[in-house]
Chain A
Amino acid sequence: MAPVRFDLSDDQEFFRETARRFIEAEVPISVVREWHELPDGCPESWWQAAAELGWTSLMVPESLGGGSISGRPIVDLTIVADEMGRGVTPGPFMPTNVVADTLARSGSPDQQALLEGVLAGEVVLAWAFCEPGGDWTASHVTAAAVPSNGGYALTGTKVAVEAGAQAQHLLVTARTADGVAQFLVPSDAPGVTVNPQESLDLGRRFAEVRLVGVAVGPEALVGAPGAAAEADVARQSLIMQLLQCADNAGSAAKVLEFTIEYAFDRYSFGRPLASYQALKHRFADMKLWSEASQASVDGAANALAEGQDEARMVSVAKSYVGDHSVELMHDCVQMHGGIGVTYEHDLHLYLRRATVNRGLFGTPGDHRVTLSKMMGY
């Protein structure tokens, strides 16, 4: 089987292999199904074991106790996302890393002190961003941060907050008179209500977060309101989207692998499904989508790592991977026939998760509109 990408260093390849073995040993698909019943989606002790492997330290610089594998932490992060996609592995991986990155870059020393717990897997972080009917851009944010008693009072409703009910701290994106601002708020602060939501994805956890006059001091601000906070929001959003794409590229590759195996094993009219040209051609298309998805993820990861044209390349990935990974899975359902639409078969676990990744932070259609605007039209 071909590796995720073809330019990994030996260290990165070892990191990937370790992640895969850890997932296969600790969270095989039977365990994934058991964890669906856990309110928090995964045992705390497991998340701590994952953190020991470095899953929460990549975006945190060495000076704060973290460290990447390659010096290109974004790329390292996609390695884990890809493996988690292959395993439909639960866990607050995406929000914790995205918020940790912002704290490491823009947080105060007090806020950065939290990272020690993140690195140990003891502290989970969530990003309270999207609002009902919102379009996943900073401009849709209406949650208000009103100056009060030398600090702020936060009021607003956030939805689809991944790990919102598991996180000890929420990064809340709100609007001030000076523009968008971000605040780090303990999830048990007075005025904060966290209501777990249902999700198509049975593995990861999402919540609604209601803030009613939540009083925070000025020290809760993460970075400066206005342009600086908007830049942070943009980066958080791009990293989230990249990880969704890496997750979907990984899960699509995995689904294609076991569906190809099925096509060799399953006989119909005295010959394997894999011998029918009508099906072979569809597998060829799926292989194309899978490889092109991986190429899109690599392109977006490199763009983000190098800070070059990253908004465009991430939208390209969301536009391509979002559609083709999910279409690939639908086609694999079709290849399986009836068994593919049963609860018992694992296919829907992948399809559920991939569908959520496809839609949150903008559908492929949304990103195509974004791209057309970037083209100056």
Chain B
Amino acid sequence: MDDFVYAKTDPAELDRYREEVETWMNENMPRRDPDNPWHPTQDDDLRSTRNRELQRRLYDGGYAAVCYPKEYGGQSLTAAHQKIIDDVSMDFDMPVLFSVPTLSICGPVILEFGTEEQKQRYIPAWIRGDELWVQFISEPSGGSDMAGALTRADRDGDEFIINGSKIWSTFAQRSDYALMLARTNWEVPKHRGLTMFIVPIHHPGIEIHPIQMVDRTEEFCQEFFNDVIIPAENVVGAVNDGWTVASRLLFHERAAVGNASPYTQGRHRNRTADGVEDLAAIARVHGGADMGRHRQRLGYIETLSRVEELLSDRVVKGIEGGFLPAPAGSLVRLFHGLSRTERQTVAMEMQGDSALVWDQGESTGAFGLEYVQRQQACIGGGTTEMARNIISERILGMPREPAADRDLPFNQVPRSG
């Protein structure tokens, strides 16, 4: 399977569905306050509880993860139905924490590779809002070279013993399970000795350390595994075939980051520097003749924002119709990284000096801070350099980068001191 399944849908049926969703949202979901949107990064407990509650509400209404099969708690509906929910839900609080990675990345991996027991056990728990998942994929030794994982899983009868460390898991301290890639065979080349596991996060031997980011938030974590015992039934796919699973995980990650996944619910809107409307608002506040010099840049941000949506539609349609290969999601990923960093730059400049030095109690410094951290948009979810590799190699068919470790047993591969 290289692709999502997109069913053709009757337009009249979709119109009817839209009405139904609008009515239900109005009656059941809390409305977003545009002036004071619920933005809970300051309180992780609240964020976790709130997202679980909202997910439960969606589930009770029959609007949670609607593209998932009915037998696991979804509605067996199409991407077009989910898009209607996304459109309508822009004005409402949504459990966006469940979208990535739980429903859009871990979810399709379990659907594709999980055993029937795993599907029955885990999928309904996400859709009901009971369990949040994260990814234990990246390691401190390197983010882009995912197959170079050093975390080891040694078999001991019906169990595996895990040792090592993972990093950049989002919100792990408030989550329940993780998909983890670990090395089970060191005698073979790197892609052939990996295995994917389901790991309970709050489990003996696992230490979680939040990482303080530039803005001092602690959304990302590093985990340390010290003789962690995991039952063999937690293997996803086959032992030593973890790379097959991980490749699909990456595919779904690109789709999720590129807005092309049918499994995300609602849209994540970062109010401080994301919305173009917000830039116009800054322009009005700091307006006057002096803002004339920002007009072109403001218009360019509007351009990028609109084109990003159009490109995303084109790529989804292209993949759906077989006109573009599945890796075309990387086009959207690359565009997003570039447009977002540009937007944050313009937002900071338009905010003027108050993004740099501000009165006590004011929040204008957020624009400066977002700017300082802007490369996050080109790093997280796969760097823009990896996206460019994928576009040139897998869309344009150019020769792959030479890899010094390709056919070498992993224990002979040179690595950083």
Residues of A in contact with B (beta carbons under 8 Å apart) = 2-3, 5-7, 260, 263-264, 271-272, 274-275, 277, 280-281, 283-285, 287-288, 291-292, 294-296, 298-299, 312-313, 315-316, 319-320, 365, 367-377
Contacts and interface: CB of A to CB of B under 8 A. Distances in A.
Interface stretch (B81-89, B101-109, B132-140, B300-308): B300-308
Nearest to B305: A316
B33 interface: no
Given A319-B299, A372-B299, A291 B307 contact: no
Given A6-B317, A371-B299, A287 B395 contact: yes
Interface stretch (B18-26, B152-160, B244-252, B290-298): B290-298
B298 A375 contact: yes
A260 B399 CA distance: 12
B280 A316 contact: no
A86 B67 CA distance: 40
A296 B307 contact: yes
Highest count of chain B CB atoms <10 Å: which of A285, A295, A316: A295
B314 interface: yes
B318 interface: yes
A47 B71 CA distance: 62
Contact of B280 (A5, A295, A315, A376): A376
Interface residues of B, number: 46
Contacts of B395: 287
Contact of A368 (B291, B296, B311): B296
Given A260-B396, A283-B392, A284-B387, A299 B310 contact: yes
Contacts of B321: 6
Given A281-B389, A281-B392, A287-B331, 11 more contacts: A275-B399, A280-B388, A280-B389, A280-B396, A284-B390, A292-B307, A295-B311, A368-B297, A368-B303, A376-B284, A377-B284
Contact of B401 (A5, A272, A277): A277
B233 interface: no
Given A287-B391, A291-B331, A295-B307, A377 B298 contact: yes
Contacts of A281: 385, 388-389, 392
Contact of A284 (B314, B318, B324, B388): B388
Nearest to A368: B299
A157 to B, nearest CB: 29
Nearest to A7: B317
A291 to B, nearest CB: 6
Interface in B261-313: 276-277, 280, 283-284, 287, 291, 294-300, 302-304, 306-307, 310-311, 313
A365 B298 CA distance: 11
Contact of A377 (B287, B315, B334, B396): B287
A367 B299 contact: yes
Contact of A365 (B276, B296, B304, B311): B296
A275 B397 CA distance: 10
B391 A288 contact: yes
Given A369-B295, A372-B298, A2 B318 contact: yes
B197 interface: no
B398 interface: yes
Main secondary structure of the interface of B (DSSP, over half): helix
18 contacts: A5-B314, A7-B317, A260-B396, A274-B398, A274-B399, A280-B393, A281-B388, A284-B387, A284-B389, A285-B334, A285-B388, A295-B311, A319-B303, A367-B303, A369-B296, A371-B298, A372-B280, A375-B280
Contact of A294 (B277, B314, B328, B385): B314
A312 B218 CA distance: 40
B323 interface: yes
Nearest to B280: A375
A284 to B, nearest CB: 4
B37 to A, nearest CB: 20
B209 to A, nearest CB: 34
A52 B61 CA distance: 58
A64 to B, nearest CB: 31
B98 interface: no
B168 interface: no
A288 B280 contact: no
Interface string B338-362: 0000000000000000000000000
B335 interface: yes
Contacts of A271: 399
Given A275-B399, A316-B307, A288 B331 contact: yes
A296 B296 contact: no
Contacts of A319: 299-300, 303
A296 B387 CA distance: 21
Contacts of B291: 377
Contacts of B303: 316, 319-320, 367-368, 371
Contact of A295 (B276, B284, B302, B310): B310
Interface in B112-153: none
B302 A316 contact: yes
Contacts of A365: 296
Contacts of A296: 306-307, 310
Nearest to B401: A277
Contacts of B298: 368, 371-372, 375, 377
Given A3-B323, A291-B315, A295-B310, A284 B296 contact: no
Highest count of chain A CB atoms <10 Å: which of B291, B295, B315, B395: B295
Nearest to A287: B391
